[in-house]
Chain A
Amino acid sequence: MTEHEHFEPVIIGFTCNWCSYRAADLAGTARMKYPPNIRLIRLMCSGRLDPTFVLKALSAGADGVMITGCHPGECHYIEQNYKAMRRYQLLKRTLTQMGIEPQRVKLVWASAAEGARLTEEITKLVEEVRALGPLQWPTSLNGHGARPAVETTGAVVSAKEVAA
C-alpha cells in the first residue's frame, strides 16, 4: 500500500493533430481503456508546444503533463517534433532546477496507428504521477508551498533560450 493510493492526479495531455490526437481517436474507436485522469488539448504539431504551457498547466493544478507528437522523422511539418524534443530536454532541466520532479512531464511519440501505445503510456504516466503524489510547489519559490502565479503569457523559461 503506497502513501498516495487514493490520490487521483490530474494530467494534461498535449496532442498533435496529425498523429497522437488521431491515436487517441483510434484508442476510442477500438474501445481501449485508460484512466480518466488525463484531459487532452489539441495542437497542430508538437512544435507548437510552448514550454510555458507546461509550466502553466503545472502551476494551475495539473500534477503531470504528457507531451505527444509524431515519431521523429514523421512530423507532418517535416521536423518540428525535433524542436519539441529539444525544448523538452531544456524544460526538464528547468523543472529540476525549480525543484519539481521532472518525471511529471513526459514526452511520448505516438503515430496515428498507435492507439494502443498511447493508452499504455497514459496508464503508465497516471500511475507514475500517482506514486509521486500531488505536486507540491517548492516553498523556496513562494514561501508557502502553494502554487505560484505564472503569468499567462509571461515566459518563465526564456523562450529564446529554448528555441535555439
Chain B
Amino acid sequence: MTSPANLPEERIGVYVCHCGSNIAGTVDVEDVAQWAAGRLKHRGVVIARDYKFMCSSLGQEMIEKDIKELGLTRVVVAACSPHLHENTFRTACKRAGLNPYLCELVSIREQVSWVHTDKVAATEKSKAVVSGGVERVLWHEPLEPLRVPIHPATLIVGGGIAGIQAALEIADGGSPVYIVEREPSIGGHMAQFDKTFPTLDCAACILTPRMVSVGTHPNITMLTWSEVTKVDGYVGNFTVTVCKKARYVNTDLCNGCAVCQDKCPKKIVDEVFEAGLGYRKAIYTPFAQAVPKFPVIDRENCTYFQKGTCRACEKFCPTGAIDFNQQDETITLQVGNIILATGYDLFDPRRIPHYGYGRLANVFTSLEFERLSNAAGPTNGKIVLRDGVTEPKSVGIIHCVGSRDRNYNNYCSVICCMQGLKFAHLVKERTGATVFNFYIDMRTAAKAYDEFYQRVLEEGTLFIRGRVAEVTDAARLHGEEGKLIIQVEDTLASKQRRIPVDMVILSAGLQPRRDAKAVAKLFGISCSADGWYIEKHPKLDPVATMTEGIFIAGCVQGPKDIPSTVVQGAAAAARVLGRIQQKEIALEPVRASINQDRCSGCRICNNLCPYSAILFHEDRMVSEVNPALCQGCGTCVAACPAGAISGTGFSNEQILAQLEGLLMLNLDGDGRMPVKVREAVAI
C-alpha cells in the first residue's frame, strides 16, 4: 500500500448518503459509515457520518461545519453519480474554506444500490467504493479551475423553427449569431405545413415574420446553402469551417424577382420541399417566402452545367445577377458556443411494404398531405387523389406508422396523433369525405390538444382502435372494387374489419437525420441508441450536452411539436446568453504537465496527442504540454515510458491508490485481498 508523505497530517471526513431509501434501501449506510470511521482511521479518516439527504442544505451545512470545527483537510462523499452532484459538494467545501478539488464524490447509488439487490453484498461493495475514494482523495491536490474567455458570437446549425427561435433570442440579447442552413432557405419543416395543430394557425403566417426578422436582424449572419465541415477548439473559442456552396447568383445584385425561375426550361421533381408532389426549376427558391430571397442554381440539374448551353436565366435576369463562375467558398468562423438544431427526417414508409406506399398511388405520406392541403402547394390546397383531379369520398388516416413498433422505431413520435387529427379535420372541412382514423392509443397530452380531439370527434370522424395490418387494392368483397382496402383488427369491437377508402394518409413518425451520427461526431457529442442527440440531463439540463459549449434544441433531441421546439430554442439561447454575459467559464483543471527533469526527450508522447498540445524543445531536448490546448484525455500520461507526465485530477498515484482502496489493500499490509471481503461477497 502506497501512502502520500503527508498522510499523518490528513484529516478526512466521510459522508454516506441515504438518499431517502434510494441508497439506504439496499445498502446498510450506517454500517458503511461506522466501518469507515473504524477501519479507515489509520488512513486519516477522523469522522464518518451518514445522513438522509447529504445534498440538502442541512447535509451540506453538516459537512461545512465539520470542515471548520474538525479541521478536515479532505472530504469523501458516498452518494450519487459525480455527474449529478460533484459540483454541489465541491461548492460546499469551498464555502467552508477547503479547496473544492480536495473533495471526492463516489457513487454508491447508480453503481451500487440501484444495480444490486443483495443488501449484504451491496453494503460490502459500498465499503470498497468508499475505501477507494479515501485512498484517491489522499492524492488530490488543491487546484484552481481554468478560466476560459467566451467569444461573444454563437453558431446555430439548422434554420428550422428551433434554430430561428434561438437565433432571434440571442440576437435580440445583443450578441452576434451565425446561422448555417443546408437548404437554400431557412424555415425547416414548418415552412411546408398548411395549418398547425391544435390552433390551426396558418403555418406560413406565424413562421414567415420570424424568418424575415432573422434575415434582417443586424446581429444575425445567415449562411444558407452551406454546411459545417470542421470544428476545432473548445467552449469559448471554437473555430468552425463552413463550406458555402456556390449559388451562381450574385446576391448583391439579385432583387428576388424570380424571372429566372419562370424562364428556366428545366423542371425537376422537388423531393425536398414539395415532398415529391410538385416541381421546381434548376434555378429555384424552395418557396415564395424563402429567406433569403435569392435563388440557387442546382448544378446537377442545370442544362448549362450539364450540357454547356442554355443560360436562359442569365439572358432574362434584369439585374445581371447570374454568375456561372462563382466558386464554393470556405468560411472560417470564430464562436464561443454552438447550438445544434438540425431537426428530423420523416420515417420512410416504403420500409413497411404492406402499407403500399410507393406501390399504391393513393397512399400518401404526412408530408405529402401537408403539401396537398397547402394553398401554396402543387394543387393550390385542393385535396385530390394522385390523378390531380378526383376528390376522395373516403379517407383513411393511419397513426403510428414506423413508431411504437419494435420492427422500426420503438419510440413514440409524439406528434403523429395530433397530426392525424389535424388531417382528419382538414379533409372533412375541404372535401366532406368520410374519414377513418386508425390509432393504437390516442395521445393528446398537451395544452388544448384533447379539446382538439373532442372537436374532431364531434365533426364526425370515425375512430378505429387497432394497428392496421395491411393496405391493399385486391378487392374481395362487393364495394371494394377500385378502392384501397384497409385491413385492421378493431380491438374495441374485437373483430376484423376491411374498410374500403379512396385515399390513405400515413401518419409517419419522426426519425433522426440520416447524417445525425456524422454531424454528432463532427461536433463531438453523442447520440442515443435511437440516434437522437443526448442531453446532459434528461430533466434538469435538457438543452446542454456533455460537451461544454455545444447545445441542442428542437427535434434533434427527440420528437416534439412546435411549441416544445420553440421552448428548447429559447432555452438554449438563454444558456448561451448567460455564458456570454459572464464573459468566461470555469473548466475542470484536468490537464497534463511534463516534469522536464524526468523527460528523456524520446518524443513518444508528441504524436499521440490528439490536439497537438505537446511541443518539443529541440534545444533542451524535452517535451512540454501547452495547457491551453491540452484537453486532459491522459493518453500521453499513459504512454510516457519515463513516467514524466502527470495529469492533474488523474495522476497515476490517484488511480492506483483508488485501485488499492477498491481492493481493500489499505486494510492489511500483505498485499492480498482481505478474506472478509471475499466471504461477504459470496453470501
Contact = CB atoms under 8 A, between A and B. Distances in A.
B156 interface: no
A145 interface: no
Interface in B101-119: 107, 109-112, 114-118
Contacts of A12: 659, 662-663
Contacts of A101: none
A40 B129 CA distance: 8
A106 to B, nearest CB: 17
A45 B655 CA distance: 13
Contact of A53 (B109, B521, B590, B659): B659
A160 B640 CA distance: 7
A141 to B, nearest CB: 14
Nearest to A40: B111
Contact of B110 (A19, A28, A62, A79): A28
B672 A79 contact: no
A28 B115 contact: yes
Interface residues of A, number: 66
A41 B521 contact: no
Nearest to B530: A113
Interface in B647-661: 647, 649-650, 652-653, 655-656, 658-660
A108 interface: no
Nearest to A148: B671
B534 interface: yes
Nearest to B679: A8
B546 A160 contact: no
The 9 closest A-B pairs by CB, nearest first: A28-B110, A48-B634, A47-B635, A77-B633, A163-B639, A61-B673, A28-B114, A78-B610, A50-B638
Contacts of B97: none
Interface in A14-32: 18-19, 21-22, 24-25, 27-29, 31-32
Contacts of B121: 36
A83 B604 CA distance: 13
A159 interface: yes
Given A50-B652, A51-B638, A163-B639, 18 more contacts: A18-B546, A25-B111, A36-B118, A36-B121, A36-B125, A41-B658, A41-B659, A53-B655, A57-B663, A61-B663, A77-B610, A77-B611, A77-B633, A112-B534, A112-B546, A114-B529, A147-B672, A162-B639
A45 B111 contact: no
Interface in B510-537: 521, 524, 526-529, 534
B314 to A, nearest CB: 45
Interface of B: 2, 81-83, 107, 109-112, 114-118, 121-122, 124-125, 128-129, 132, 521, 524, 526-529, 534, 546-547, 590, 602, 604, 608, 610-611, 631-635, 637-641, 643, 647, 649-650, 652-653, 655-656, 658-660, 662-665, 671-673, 677-678, 681-682
A149 B633 contact: no
A68 to B, nearest CB: 13
23 contacts: A10-B673, A10-B678, A18-B526, A21-B83, A22-B83, A27-B114, A36-B124, A39-B125, A41-B659, A41-B662, A43-B655, A44-B647, A48-B633, A48-B647, A49-B638, A50-B652, A74-B526, A80-B635, A113-B529, A152-B653, A159-B639, A160-B602, A162-B639
Contact of B114 (A31, A45, A50, A162): A31
B115 A32 contact: yes
A99 interface: no
A94 interface: no
A4 to B, nearest CB: 11
Given A53-B659, A147-B671, A163 B641 contact: yes
Given A28-B115, A160-B604, A113 B662 contact: no
Contacts of B528: 113
A30 B429 CA distance: 46
A24 B84 CA distance: 13
Contacts of B632: 44
Nearest to A57: B659
A76 interface: yes
A12 B124 CA distance: 15
A27 B83 CA distance: 14
Given A25-B110, A40-B111, A60 B652 contact: no
Given A36-B118, A159-B640, A43 B658 contact: no
Contacts of B672: 61, 146-147
Given A12-B663, A76-B524, A78-B610, A36 B634 contact: no
A144 interface: no
A6 B683 CA distance: 9
B115 A31 contact: yes
Contacts of B546: 18, 22, 76, 112
A67 to B, nearest CB: 12
A140 interface: no
Contacts of B635: 45, 47-48, 77, 80, 83
Contact of B671 (A7, A28, A149, A153): A149
A47 B109 CA distance: 27
Contacts of B81: 25, 28
Nearest to B590: A44
A45 B641 contact: no
Nearest to A119: B115
A36 B109 contact: no
Given A22-B83, A31-B114, A62-B663, A39 B641 contact: no
Contacts of B128: 39
Nearest to B633: A77
Nearest to A48: B634
Contacts of A34: 115-116
B663 A73 contact: no
A103 interface: no
